[in-house]
Structure 1
């Protein structure tokens, strides 16, 4: 797994901000919008299409995406969808897109041009997509078993985290119900939302994330979806030895 982006919805640096993190020369403080890609037996599975997707794939030298999987429908996780237009030429057909029914409805509204019945002006004019509905049950993608993890993201949005083997990716959440906590037992690596130190109505704070980590006891945890309140070097020194800040380009082995 490669963490393509580890930043909050506005990214870091934030437009117009003069804070020390936004002006930092440490590349680990430069955070594009949150997304990840997983190399599976049957190809590359992209988790979310952040608005920075083109930049992320070029930076990591990833030349092909075979399938896309969505955590939820918010703009910072969805609006790079158009950047997958090239991949149908490479894989020989529409890109399979795995998403809940609610996320699919948003995709069809926002990217309506990808679903029009009229004859396209040219090949590649719009994304070619094959929507596949997912729910709470495990499913197979590209030769791997994916376990969805239902998460709460504030009062108006439900999100899926995903477990692949003993690695789990859980971004954009401020509450994990007991049934989902059961699905996160015995992890080697957990990637978990931790926006900042102060509380937020839809994201875990760092303190709240550390409490979840204490309950789950994964071997290693990386905190993601980080805001410009989090300086990489300063905050890293304050964390327990088994907890680390994520950064763009971080590689995590699947186990």
Structure 2
């Protein structure tokens, strides 16, 4: 199984519009962060977790030629806004794309993309098959996804474990029961927004503490704001086994 980081930025991305800070003006390509999303390729299936506003460009940049499914963590704009662009895959593959989301997220999609779900299907609109997540493990082909509930302030959202890989974004708190689903992961991805306290996201220090508690062989930090600092400088401060993810990073997972 291969995992590619399509985006590692927060809701505004990096650089932020009209910002002249040292991170937003950095020449290091690792400081250019699209909205958070990953691509999973394995067991003859190609799956994206979240399709944010940068989805079209992410697919082009990563040269994705096929897409079997999108799995949604939650309904916020930076995670769903690019859904319309599955049309290209509909056309090429001559069929609908499977979409996995819980009932609350589905309701948000039906409001945001109302034209997709109308009885009258306008020619060329996205074609999708909705699958409802209830909190139990589910399969996409031979890949088994185990949902992990985390709290994004007061909003319950989903992370996912696939084999020895766990992906979590937009978390602020995680219960001990849900942590048990994560333990034993060889590779962990978790959000680390900024150094300052935030109401709905792990801070840099909170993400590191969480990673050390889980004890994965390797942890990658994602959903990173321009406020965290430059990739090269922050990387020098990280404990062994913890790294900043960056757009385009690829991981090969057994």
Band of TM-score, shorter chain:
over 0.9
Aligned residues: 251
1:196 counterpart (191, 194, 197):
194
Name the counterpart of 1:250. 249
Preserved contact between residue 164 and residue 254 of structure 1 (Cα < 8 Å): no
For 1:1-255, list aligned pairs within 5 A: 1-120=3-122, 122=123, 124=124, 126-155=125-154, 157-229=155-227, 230-255=229-254
Cα deviations by residue, 1:184-206 (Å, 9 ceiling, x for unpaired): 11111100010011110000001
Q: Distance in 2 between matches of 1:182 and 1:31?
A: 31
Cα offset for 1:119? 4.6
Preserved contact between residue 96 and residue 131 of structure 1 (Cα < 8 Å): yes
**SS class of match (1:183):** helix
Q: Please list every run of 5 or more consecutive structure 2 residues that lacks an aligned counterpart in the other structure.
A: none
1:84–1:119 CA distance, 2 compared to 1 (3 A)? closer
Cα offset for 1:40? 2.2
Preserved contact between residue 45 and residue 140 of structure 2 (Cα < 8 Å): no
CA RMSD of aligned residues (A): 1.0
Q: Distance in 2 between matches of 1:47 and 1:12?
A: 20
Which 4+ stretches in 1 moved above 4 angstroms?
Answer: none
Q: Distance in 2 between matches of 1:116 and 1:71?
A: 24
Cα offset for 1:248? 0.4
Cα deviations by residue, 1:40-72 (Å, 9 ceiling, x for unpaired): 213210110010011111111112211110000
**SS class of match (1:85):** helix
Q: Please list every run of 5 or more consecutive structure 1 residues that lacks an aligned counterpart in the other structure.
A: none
Cα deviations by residue, 1:57-92 (Å, 9 ceiling, x for unpaired): 111111221111000000000000111112122333
Q: Distance in 1 between matches of 2:253 and 2:84?
A: 28
**SS class of match (2:252):** coil
Calculate the TM-score normalised by the size of structure 1: 0.96
